[in-house]
Amino acid sequence: MGVEHVSGVNDSVVIIQIGAEGRSITVVARTSAGGVTEYSVRLRDQTLTFLAEGEADNVIRRDTQWSDRWDDVIASLGRWPWPMLVPLQVHSDYVDRVLLAVEQYRGRDGQPARESAVDRWKEACRSNGAN
């Protein structure tokens, strides 16, 4: 799989891309000047664009602060039921971490991700050139 760079973000690569109706959630990584990998979670919500045709500036953008902790990424993703959404891309270097996070996921009700959702993530990881 080729490394996809994020436009407008210097030296950042896509680690996870998740699709939902009118939205996308993307985890990006970069290497700091000190050689440390840092992560940010980016939400793009275009729902308003669909409701108000012709108003392309209605995209809501939310980005987390950069963090060097993978646990922070998972905690940020936990605001949404992300394993139940559509996995569009998983960077091959992060397959094991992502699958572990999917399997350990617990929703607000304490329930794990549905088996069909876990299977969808496994398939996405395989199709992105992993195992």
What pLDDT band is residue 130 in, cutting at 50, 70 and 90? very low
pLDDT band at 128 (very low <50, low <70, confident <90, very high): confident
CA dihedral 104, 129, 20, 66 (to 10 degrees): 70
Average pLDDT over residues 51-55: 55
Distances (CA, A) of 115 to 17, 26, 112: 20, 23, 9
Whole-angstrom distance, CA of residue 69 vs CA of residue 42: 16
Prediction pTM value? 0.78
Contacts of 3 (CB under 8 A, 6+ apart): 13, 91
- Alpha-carbon distance of 75 to 58, in angstroms, equals 27
SS3 92: helix
Q: Which two tokens stand for residue 91?
A: 């960077």
Nearest to 41 by CA among 76, 91, 89: 76
**Span 29-55, average pLDDT:** 77
pLDDT band for 5, please (50, 70, 90 cuts).
Answer: very low
Rg (Cα) of the chain, in Å, rounded? Answer: 15
> Residue holding tokens 């009118």?
22
